Amino acid sequence: MTTSEPAATLDNLLAEDRTFPPPDGFAATANVTAEAYRRATEDPEAYWAEQARRLSWATEWTDVLDWTDAPHARWFVGGELNVAYNCVDRHVESGNGERVAIHWEGEPGDTRTITYAQLQDEVCRTANALTSLGLQAGDRVAIYLPMVPEAVFAMLACARLGLPHSVVFGGFSAEALRTRIADAQAQVVITADGQYRRGSAAPLKSAVDEAVADRDSPVRSVVVVRRTGIDVSWTDKDVWWHDLVDGQSTEHTLQAFPSEHPLFILYTSGTTGKPKGILHTSGGYLTQAAYTHWAVFDLKPETDVYWCTADIGWVTGHSYIVYGPLANGATEVIYEGTPNTPHEGRHWDIVDKYGVSIYYTAPTLIRTFMKWGSEIPGRYRLDSLRVLGSVGEPINPEAWMWYRQTIGRDRCPIVDTWWQTETGAIMISPLPGVTATKPGSAMTPLPGISAAVVNDDGVRVGPGGGGYLVLDRPWPGMLRTIWGDDQRFVDTYWSRFAAQGYYFAGDGAKYDTDGALWLLGRVDDVMNVSGHRISTTEVESALVAHPSVAEAAVVGASDEMTGQGIVAFVILRGDAAAKVQTDGQSGADLVSELRKHVGTQIGPIARPRQIMIVQELPKTRSGKIMRRLLRDVAEHRDLGDVTTLQDSSVMELITTGLASGK
């Protein structure tokens, strides 16, 4: 959904008056009750200090929050801890070593069960291996792996050693990996020979070979997990994971790091072509990840089986597969593959097989399940489920209702969780034992979190009002800066409402008359495709990098399945344009070549759904591309006022060109 959505749709949404209170009995045993909101409002810092005590600190903090250098926050100042110790060792020490940490399910059907005691051994071995490569606290490690247990071992080993990791999604291209490695100056890359996708083995290491080939690459070593057994080429930087890690000792002496020691960098798209390296640190981040995982999902670590279907390449995987659940001593499922391999009931098969009780997924997948048909989940028991979560984009009320009825069997509360890579952890969400939910609304900020909706001038709007979502108080999991570009951090998030000191989230939002929040999608040039953030500029830059393209404009058009789909308008260079005009086939060939080109430059997720070859682009008199008009074209809407156009005949040219199939 975009903010250009016709008002009628919005009004329909806000007229949603169905509410679903917590099921009978749920509230009575819930981890959090309404009283938490009161306490947190009275004294937020005291509330967060209480939450920080969920963790084991080597040294207690002296100040909960130092905001004197705003917008640069320091949380739990003076405190020291080891993040990996909190996620692993302490559970073994407290007698839960035999508890299953991870039920891992490979796409081909192979499985691995890993207890907390075994996890401790694996993380210690991996930490010793990384030390043997000469890495020291503060050095960066890139992780480019499929959803295999080694991804978790690697992240936790980095955390244990104070090595900030930069996980790069396995679906990103060699070029995307190269720029991320260069930006963070990572010295080591951890990867796999290949990865299983839709039933077959696809190469992965070959992309690393390409990404580290430059003579000036900072990468010294590439550690390779053997996952698929496919052939790989080998260089003298490469070492097999099993050769490096398996022989290492399971003893590893811990070191505590300051609360503000960097934990990871994770790249996300902004409004320019260059992805931003979002920096998260240790104590505050882990506090909020652990607290929200416990509160929002009502986690009972002794009995629940939790499953988050995200990939560790995204922040959801960081906070709700690795750090949150493991800090809480949860038992979780990690599934390697695609949801329709070998059949469209794979997820429900896994839910029944492991007795999954908490299931956390994305609206785009829920809509896909709807398309596949209710009879598929209908064949499974699904009676172990008790809480359902959603994240990544606004969830449409129909999808919400389907999720509740068909998967939750009208029995499970749904938590629609709003947050961002930058916020580190969940910010706005119902609490399953407290909140009466409305289909499509993320409801209210969590206890300890404060948000507001403001107008263009930064003035707060009340119930029924709409505008921009802002966060008006610091929170423990907040990003600390953009790696290597602190000015961009200040400009991007803190300059729009600098006078008020608010964090600008980049999302439109509206309050209904009950004061519940409805998130309305991005207000900047960032698209949301299947819950993944991709900037229009990033795709435009990729297109313009192709020799046949002179100019490109990209918009996100609403898409029934993926939320938004990428639609590109390109103007060709002289030669290419002449060829296309005389020969229809070369136009079609070029379009498919351009789609492939974007896939290689960024990754398959950024491949445009549609590319239209045009002669002109609509621009304002000041030369800015009018994306609103292009979005209207892409969504087949009537064009509104085009009088601010530099040349209003341009739109006619584009639309008639479209009609004639160019």
The answer to the question of whether 197 is labelled as a binding residue is yes
Name the burial class of residue 381, with classes exposed (0-12), middle (13-18) and buried (19+) by CB atoms within 10 angstroms of its CB.
Answer: exposed
Binding site for ligand WT7 (CB under 6 A): 268, 315-316, 391-394, 416-421, 442, 505-507, 519, 521-522, 528, 531, 533
> Looking at beta carbons only, is 403 or 419 nearer to ligand WT7?
419
How many C-beta atoms surround the C-beta of residue 628 within 10 A?
15
Nearest approach in angstroms of CB 389 to ligand WT7 is 9
Between 222 and 263, name the residue whose CB sits nearer to ligand WT7. Answer: 263
Shortest separation between residue 442's beta carbon and ligand WT7, angstroms: 5
Rounded to an integer, what distance in angstroms lies between the CA atom of residue 255 and that of residue 157?
A: 12
Q: Which residue has the tokens 């509104």?
A: 640
Amino acid at 398: E
Shortest spacing between CB 446 and ligand WT7, in angstroms: 13
390 is in an annotated binding site: no
Of 258 and 439, nearer to ligand WT7 (C-beta) is 439
Structure tokens at 615: 């002669």
Query: Does 593 carry a binding-site annotation?
Result: no
How many whole angstroms separate alpha carbon 270 and alpha carbon 541? 13
Q: Is 463 annotated as a binding residue?
A: no
CB of 84 to ligand WT7, least distance (A): 23
**340 labelled binding-site residue:** yes
Contact 605, 612 (CB under 8 A): no
On whether 198 is known to bind a ligand per the annotation, the reply is yes
Closest of 350, 362, 364, 298 to residue 328, by C-alpha: 298
522 in a known ligand binding site: yes
- Of 66 and 485, the one with the shorter C-beta distance to ligand WT7 is 485
Of 432 and 531, which CB lies nearer to ligand WT7 in the complex structure?
531
CA 525 to chain centre: 17
- Min CB(493)–ligand WT7 separation in Å: 11
Helix/strand number for the chain, H first, E second = 24, 30
What ranges in 23-69 are assigned the alpha helix state H? 26-29, 35-42, 44-52
Q: Where are the alpha helices (DSSP H) in 309-374?
A: 315-317, 324-327, 346-354, 363-372
Q: Which is nearer to ligand WT7, 65 or 289 (CB)?
A: 289
Question: Distance (Å, rounded) from C-alpha 316 to C-alpha 391?
Answer: 8
Tell me the C-alpha to C-alpha distance, in Å, between residue 219 and each of 188, 238, 567, 600: 5, 10, 36, 21
Tell me: is residue 199 an annotated ligand-binding position: yes
Rounded to the nearest whole angstrom, what is the least distance from the CB of residue 426 to ligand WT7 in the complex?
Answer: 8
CB of 506 vs ligand WT7, minimal distance in Å: 6
Q: Which helix H or strand E contains 17, and what residues bound it?
A: none
The partner residues of 580 in beta bridges, in order of sequence, read none
Query: Would the annotation count 392 as a binding residue?
Result: yes
Kindly tell me which of 139 and 298 has the beta carbon lying closer to ligand WT7: 298
Cα–Cα distance, 147 to 150 (Å, whole number): 8
| Residue number with CB closer to ligand WT7 (159 or 427) | 427
- For 633, residues 6+ apart whose C-beta sits below 8 A from its C-beta are 639, 651, 654, 655, 658
Does residue 383 have a known ligand-binding role? no
Residue 622 labelled as part of a binding site: no
Query: Residue 656: enclosing H or E segment and its boundaries?
Result: helix 649-659
**Closer by beta carbon to ligand WT7, 104 or else 320:** 320
Q: Which is nearer to ligand WT7, 14 or 591 (CB)?
A: 14
CB of 395 to ligand WT7, least distance (A): 7
* Shortest reach from residue 142's CB to ligand WT7, in Å: 19
- Give min distance, CB of 339 to ligand WT7, in A: 17
Residue 582 assigned ligand-binding role: no
Only one residue has tokens 């008056």, namely 17
| Adjacency order of strands within the sheet including 100-105 | 111-115, 100-105, 331-335, 305-308, 358-361, 387-391, 414-417
Binding site residue list for CoA:
197-200, 316, 340, 530
Binding site residue list:
197-200, 316, 340, 392-394, 416-421, 507, 522, 530, 533, 544, 546, 549
Binding site residue list for Mg(2+):
544, 546, 549
Binding site residue list for ATP:
392-394, 416-421, 507, 522, 533
